[in-house]
Structure 1
Amino acid sequence: MTSSVGFTLVQLRYFLVAAESGSMTAASAELHIAQSAVSTAVYNLERDLQAQLFIRRRGRGLVLTPAGKRLQHQARELLARAREIEGEARGSGGAFSGPVAVGCFVTLAPYHLPALFSECTSRYPGIEIDVVEAEAEQLIQALRAGRIDFALTYDLGLSGDPELRSETIAHAPAYAIVPAGHPLAGRESVELTELAAEPLVLLDLPHSRDYFRALVAATGTEPDVRYRTQSYETVRSMVAQGLGYSVLNQRPATSQTYGGGEVVALPLRDGRPPLEVKLVYVDSVAQTARTRAVMELLRGIATHRSAAG
């Protein structure tokens, strides 16, 4: 007869979200439950384990104790294994059946997810891909809290984190876009100095905004950010309407925009290094066979896109 375990997977999940967010209030908002439910779950977990997991600082949030830090790593592995067991029970029982939670940077999603779903359905029909689309910092938080198995993202905000391991699968050089009728639209390439005096339509996402502003600032001029939007396609549509130029990394297959106008993509001659497209995961969490299979599919998709481009 097996002995019972005092704590639950729900308690571990609430603990991980609280550890990542740094407060019970933030964790309750992220989990969409009452703060009292998070606090009670963590209190009961501490009682069952007979260990203090957090130092609670009034008005300054939560800090993990050494025991809490150890549990954080162990809980990630346990929850990943629980998802694997659930998937095998719901599927055919094979290694390539069940859910895989994939995080994807918002602007990368249209370029990689359709091909990923198509390839996965063809080769591994038993795998169910669940996607979280977000910006870089949110993806890192989701990784740390164990809500996703890995992330597909740019190399933005990843440096200096010893818990994360990353692998570069593609490079995305920056390029400028201008309206179809722009005086430079017929050029094969440009330098940003030729556009720096014009209004900049900024893709206003965390880390991304700093990257694009730094590209223009490197020309020795202060970017004239006239318009901001968090939508990749809105940036293209605003440029097509003649409201300014922009700098992006991923290239759509068409020059047409949602607004009906047309943009022209111009490679940059400034010699700035391209952004790296990376697969990122928590180093201490062992990946399941189906997760590794999905990651391999993304490697192949990235290689095919690079060859086609």
Structure 2
Amino acid sequence: MEYLVAVGDEGTIAMAAQRLNVSSPSISTAINQLEGHFGIQLFVRRHAQGLSLTPGGRRVYNEAKRILGDAAALNDLANDIIDLPRGPISIGALSTIAPVVSARFRRSFEDAFPDAQVSLHMGDQVELFRMLGRAEIDVAITYDMQLPVDIDFHPLISLAPKVMLPIDHPMAEQSDVSLKALEPEPMVLLDLPLSRDYFLSTFQMANTQPNIAERATDLALVRSLVAHGYGYSLVNIGTDHTLSPDGIELAFKPVRERVKPLMLGLATMRADQRSAIVTAFFDHVAGMDVTPKRRSKPNHQTL
């Protein structure tokens, strides 16, 4: 198509060859192939006057020029996506993390990059990896648990598990809590894929076993069950407030035994090159203090 347009513009194969920096026979062969493929004559060949487009050739020439323009626009768009941190970016967050960090990440990033449009999604670890694979999200905020081989993970902060207790529990006054001492106590397990396996492995590392009395797939419900005395639980992410969703005080204590922490970070599909906006999000979040914070007022204008 480039050869066709060049010949149509220049009127001779020699001038088209000079413009494109290719040989004249290459252009002649390309024109002959196009005419054979379409089954029409594109040019009238006049030995002294060069080549002129036939009526049908003129229509093909115009369409080829439009297609080449569209292709150039796609290249420009791709370069824009790679080079400029603007436009849409879709962020997924683990359901236990999303209420704590995702909105804060979004607000901070959009304040720094006003041309960015961030959309938020939530799911468990398996769902997040599935959404990454389907290109439904660009980045996942999650833990380093059972990462697929086609996922790149970039750590942000190490989070050790804490024991969550009712405020009136006898161990709530201790500086830390032993998992062995909790063995006879009822446990409320956060029963989510991979999270469940991690918490159970924490007990294995401490050479003890939990007495699971309740299971819940929602962290807010786990907090409420603990607050109302149905047992203790283990959590990795929290906020600086210690209330259950219905306003009852909770206690959070470090685990006494040496156990493996979880690494909170950003996950993407493995690729040779990221878009500019994804790179900007990585760089921005890496420079943030990602520990949970309380803010008395949200950063928005009053309408």
> If the length of structure 2 is used for normalisation, what is the TM-score?
0.67
SS at match of 1:242: coil
Instruction: State the AA in 1 paired with 2:130.
Output: Q
The partner residue of 2:264 within 277, 290, 293 is 277
Written as runs of structure 1 = structure 2, the 5 A alignment for 1:157-168 is 157-158=146-147, 161-168=148-155
Alignment of 1:6-45 (within 5 A): none
Q: Does 1:144 align with 2:130?
A: no
Matched, 1:100 2:89: yes
Q: Mapping of 1:1-309 within 5 angstroms? A: 85=77, 95-158=84-147, 161-284=148-271, 286-301=273-288, 303=289, 305=291
Matches of 1:101 and 1:307, distance apart in 2: 23
List per-residue Cα deviations over 1:6-36 (Å, max 9, x = no partner): xxxxxxxxxxxxxxxxxxxxxxxxxxxxxxx
Shift of 1:248: 0.4
Shift of 1:86: 9.3
Q: Tell me the distance in 2 between the aligned counterparts of 1:198 and 1:101.
A: 42
Distance 1:162 1:259 in 2: 41
CA distance in 1: counterparts of 2:261 and 2:276, whole angstroms: 31
RMSD: 2.7
Distance 2:249 2:101 in 1: 23
1:103 and 1:86 map into 2 onto residues whose CA distance is 23
> What amino acid sits opposite 2:128 in the alignment?
L
SS of the aligned residue for 1:157 comes to coil
CA distance in 2, matches of 1:121, 1:187: 42
Partner SS for 1:196 = coil
Query: Any gaps of 5 or more consecutive residues in structure 1?
Result: 3-81
Aligned residue type for 2:159: A
Give the aligned residue type for 1:305: T
Aligned residues: 223
Once the two structures are superposed, residues 266-291 of structure 1 have per-residue CA deviations (whole angstroms, 9 ceiling, x without a partner) of 11121112101121112225211111
CA-CA distance at 1:128 after TM superposition: 0.6
After superposition, give the CA deviation of every residue in 1:197-240 in whole Å (9 maximum; x if it has no partner). Answer: 11110111001111112222444443221111111111111101
Q: Aligned equivalents of 2:206 and 2:174: distance in 1? A: 19
**Conserved in 2, the CA contact under 8 Å of 1:137 and 1:157?**
no
SS at structure 1 position matched to 2:129: helix
TM superposition shift of 1:97: 1.8
**Contact kept? 1:169, 1:279, Cα under 8 Å:** yes
Rounded to whole Å, the distance in 1 between the matches of 2:94 and 2:102 is 11
Of structures 1 and 2, the larger Rg is shown by 2
Measure, in 2, the Cα distance between the counterparts of 1:206 and 1:152: 16
Q: Which one-letter code corresponds to 1:229 in the other structure?
A: A
Aligned partner of 1:5 in structure 2 is none
Does the CA-based 8 Å contact 2:156-2:290 persist in structure 1?
Answer: no
- Deviation of 1:294 after TM superposition, in Å, equals 1.2
The residue identity in structure 1 corresponding to 2:291 is R
